[in-house]
Structure 1
Amino acid sequence: MTSSPQTTLSTGAVRGSEHEGVARFLGIPFAAPPFGENRFRAPQPVRAWKGVREATQFGPTAPQLPYAGAIGELLGSVRIDGDDILTANVWAPIGASSAPVLLWIHGGALERGTAALPLYDGTVFAKAGIVFVSINYRLGSEGFSVLEDAPRNLGLRDAAAGLAWVQREISAFGGDPTQITAMGESAGGAIVAGLLAREDSRALIHRAIIESGPLAAQPVKKAGRVTAQLAKRLGIRSDRAAFAEVSPEQLLDARKAQSAGSSPLGGAPGFQFAIDPESLPRSPHEVLGEIDTPILIGSNTDEYRLWFPPEALAGISELKLQAARILSRIPRRAVREYRSAFPGASTGEVFGQLVTDMLLRAPLSRLAAARPDLTHVYEFAWPSPVRDLRAAHALELGFVFDRLTDDETVRLAGPGAPQALADEMNAAWIGFVTNGDPGWPVYGSGRQTRIFDATSATLPQRRTTGMDLLPG
């Protein structure tokens, strides 16, 4: 038996759906459509509507290309056409009052992904007494171009607007606006870090969860390389007027051509945050060690095995590794220590672990060491039997959301993933959102880390040798 729950926001009334004691409201705009006169501009306010707005379908997805190649066979995508892409989705316990709130921000390298993926269904959190919210934000060229006369970090600004919407409107769904946990994975984790680095957004976040999220923003010139190359390819200037004349589809086509033939060692530049006085004055990796927001943060043991399929790893020779080492300013000693730490590993696997640690594990370790009593650290170590992925990037999501039978999870984890591990991880995340306790101690002086595996354990952080030699 389903019903049609209804609530009223500052912009008008919305009607959702109800199932098994959970009210669901989908596709609620938190900012105006970022096209037409709003394209390449900061998120604009939503116009109020009359009557009751139906909120039973996900809103349109941000312009993007599906994943290609081997990754495309593992990671799904959803496309919903339309301009009203800056929307929020809410799952709330029926009758909730002053419940804790979890804001989910999806990943996708800042150029893919959507809150509409079935994997990101918030029902399991709502059944645990949490008001769960997910949002979309601008991606790729629409969200992270570095243009001469346009605001920077538009996708991050969108997320900040979404967070402000949650703080302003969540009481209408039974949520407590003072108990918001921001959570994201991969690029979504980077956005959570970016929100924490901004004083205005940080003031709205009670706790934060960062899963496999990079913590660094780049100087404008470096962050703008992808935009400059796209402009050159298109034969236009790197300014708002010129880019606004190019359709989103044309920009995606140009990006596809730009990325063609990329390799693990010679890929096209990716979209990144730009250090910017208005939207991100300092890189998150510099700020997060100084703040007192409780953070749960971690990575997966073999992150790189999603990004680099076996054939790419096999193609990394010693010469290529040394070239990448020089380009990334990695000392020779670090490579020697990694070889010692991974006896029997191929050159490609050593490179992959270096990339994983430089991008993710070393920054999160520095963060935890800077604020050991405010940080819970985990490592997801359960090895997938699929394609020798092992504990690859994004594998933990099916466990955190307790959706092991979802198509997205089965593609990564296979059909026999351990339900007990999903029960454990989902309960840990719920515990952190609810009361700040995931069930294991803070990092502390003993570098306490929860190792999630078929048999989980809390141990001193593993494999720290060599990470202190990496740049950053």
Structure 2
Amino acid sequence: MTVAGDDVSRSRPEVRTRSGSLRGSLEAGVAVFRGIPFAEPPVGALRFAAPRAVRGWSGVREAVAFGPPPPQGGHFGMDALARETVGEDWLTVNVWSPDPGPGAGLPVLVWIQGGAYTIGMSGLPEYDGGRLARDGGVVVVTFNYRVGPEGFGQIEGAPANRGLLDQIAALEWVRDHITAFGGDPDRVTVFGQSAGGGSVAALLAAPGAAGLFGRAVAQSAQGTFFAPELAADITGACAAELGLRATVADLSGVAPHRLAAAGDAVGAEAARHGGRWGKPALRSVTFSPVVDGAALSVTPWQALTAGAGRDIDLLVGHTRHEQRLLTALDGLLGQVGEDVAAQTLDAFAPGPDGARAYRDAHPEAGPDELHELVLSDWLFRMPTLHLAEAQAAAGGRVHAYELTWPAAPGMDGVLGACHGLDVPLVFGNLDRGQPAALIGTAPEAEDLSAAMRAAWTSFAAQGDPGWPAYDRDRRLVRLFDAAPTVTAYPEERSRLIWRDHAFPVLPLLQRGNPEGQIPGR
């Protein structure tokens, strides 16, 4: 770190990387470098291509502003946010370091944001890494990756999983450059939530990511992985919205925001494709990693069962009421009737007797709770738990947790421990960004956030978050609540219902296949 004799120079730390020198800013004692390119802009001839290593530069590059986000869908106004920042350098990283310099040797936490593989940008205030870096003594890295059709559309003439390839390229950048920021490239932990957690799971299975991280944290991992045929059919529908085919030749001339909007249009009408797309259509899940035989040959659960993560320390967990916020966003909170609950159980519960198994296991549950339980389990809770089960079965080390503290106490806890609540708690950003609205003014939030940050940074530093490892006998997990405890996994009824489910690759279905029909439609 360059320290000059005056206050202005001290507030502008500099580092020298292999690509060139960078000048950042000093914020609350943490050196911050934003908008550092890790790959060439994926536009023009490089659009829909695998990421290409960035060229170096001469002189000192200013690194004080986030790079422009990738084109994306309009959920939560993200498309408008993306278009506010002009430029094509979509693939950039940001670094927060409490001790920049090649000799510090600090643990590194690399964050992958979620957003259903359709939205997401690293420059959101909830992902500010300053507090996590400062209080935990770690280097925090965030980055952009391509989403929606740009990143996960199955396009003829283009490699699949371009968003996943971007993530691998960002991790390669960390391996090659993080020493300059005080990080230890041999102590890299990748962590992510929702689609970011699903991405972490995918990276555990991806041969191209081997050796790029030694620890991994999957928070509420999204469990959808597509067959190439399903991904191609969905992307074909997106191209058809524009009167085109899903080929590089046809789509390369389409403005990125128009292609993202076409993805939104297909997502909004996904349910009518249920006969071909099956369960993803019912939840408007239009993009996911593709098990294509190249970037991914098997699902994460298959990979972990076979021992792919045996040498990687793993921390996994979910919130108790994953679905509840999503139900509220659907306008159905407190409005789910018996007919909707029955349709949901028939569509998503595993096996031919899954719906009956839920009703037998939860005789006290009304339609709202049954709807919430099975959707929470299908998309987030059981895919995440099965990562722990697979890792433990293969002899790898894994720790597990569940967040049970209820969100937004000012709303009488109606949202419960909902999806996304863990993000502000883990980063410590309790008063900024959209997820902070879930926190409210609860006084215990600070203590809970401190406990989660301490666990994550301890895991990054030592591989131990502070409670016993998960095994298939005791199944001990940490419950994060106002008074955190360690206990046997509390969602035992769901675990038993899903214990024989393999979370297979989601296929393209034939019209008329009962598994692909939408009950009640």
Does TM-score exceed 0.5, indicating one fold? yes
- Aligned residue number for residue 166 of structure 2: 158
Distance in 2 of aligned mates of 1:98 and 1:91: 14
Could you tell me which of 452, 459, 469 is aligned with 2:487? 459
Would you say the 8 A contact 1:358–1:467 is kept in 2?
no
- Aligned residue number for residue 476 of structure 2: 448
Is it true that 1:338 corresponds to 2:358 in the alignment? Answer: yes
Q: Structure 1 residue 380: deviation in Å?
A: 0.4
Residues 325-348 of structure 1, C-alpha deviation per residue, up to 9 Å, x if partnerless? 444463464333433544543323
Q: Match for 1:42: what amino acid?
A: A
Could you tell me which of 404, 418, 426 is aligned with 2:453? 426
Could you tell me which of 348, 360, 363 is aligned with 2:380? 360
Q: Secondary structure at the match of 2:492?
A: coil
Residues 1-52 of structure 1, C-alpha deviation per residue, up to 9 Å, x if partnerless? 5521111122211111113331111000000001111110100121221211
Distance in 1 of aligned mates of 2:316 and 2:21: 37
Q: Match for 1:296: what amino acid?
A: L
Task: List gaps (5 residues or longer) in structure 1.
Answer: none
Distance in 2 of aligned mates of 1:10 and 1:407: 33
Would you say the 8 A contact 2:129–2:141 is kept in 1?
yes
Distance in 2 of aligned mates of 1:413 and 1:383: 9
Is it true that 1:279 corresponds to 2:295 in the alignment? Answer: yes
Distance in 2 of aligned mates of 1:154 and 1:314: 39
Q: Secondary structure at the match of 2:187?
A: strand
Q: Structure 1 residue 457: deviation in Å?
A: 0.6
Would you say the 8 A contact 1:337–1:465 is kept in 2?
no
Is it true that 1:438 corresponds to 2:465 in the alignment? Answer: yes
Alpha carbon RMSD of aligned pairs, Å? 2.4
- Aligned residue number for residue 377 of structure 1: 400
Q: Kindly tell me: are residues 392 and 134 of structure 1, through their superposed partners in 2, closer, same or farther at Cα, counting changes over 3 Å?
A: same
Q: Structure 1 residue 422: deviation in Å?
A: 0.9
Q: Matches of residues 282-301 of structure 1 in structure 2 within 5 Å?
A: 282-289=298-305, 290=307, 291-292=309-310, 293-301=312-320
Residues 357-412 of structure 1, C-alpha deviation per residue, up to 9 Å, x if partnerless? 12222223233223336110000011113652111100011111112222434312
> How many pairs does the alignment contain?
468
- Aligned residue number for residue 129 of structure 2: 122
* Percent of aligned positions that are identical: 37
Would you say the 8 A contact 1:225–1:269 is kept in 2?
no
Distance in 1 of aligned mates of 2:389 and 2:350: 21
Distance in 1 of aligned mates of 2:347 and 2:100: 56
- Aligned residue number for residue 138 of structure 1: 146
Q: Secondary structure at the match of 2:154?
A: coil
Is it true that 1:255 corresponds to 2:271 in the alignment? Answer: no
- Aligned residue number for residue 3 of structure 2: none
Is it true that 1:395 corresponds to 2:421 in the alignment? Answer: yes
Q: Kindly tell me: are residues 172 and 362 of structure 1, through their superposed partners in 2, closer, same or farther at Cα, counting changes over 3 Å?
A: same
Q: Structure 1 residue 120: deviation in Å?
A: 1.0
Q: Structure 1 residue 95: deviation in Å?
A: 4.8
Q: Match for 1:99: what amino acid?
A: L
Q: Match for 1:91: what amino acid?
A: W
Distance in 1 of aligned mates of 2:237 and 2:269: 15
Task: List gaps (5 residues or longer) in structure 2.
Answer: 1-6, 272-279, 504-521
Is it true that 1:58 corresponds to 2:57 in the alignment? Answer: no
Q: Structure 1 residue 303: deviation in Å?
A: 0.5
Q: Kindly tell me: are residues 86 and 51 of structure 1, through their superposed partners in 2, closer, same or farther at Cα, counting changes over 3 Å?
A: same
Distance in 1 of aligned mates of 2:345 and 2:237: 24
Is it true that 1:100 corresponds to 2:116 in the alignment? Answer: no
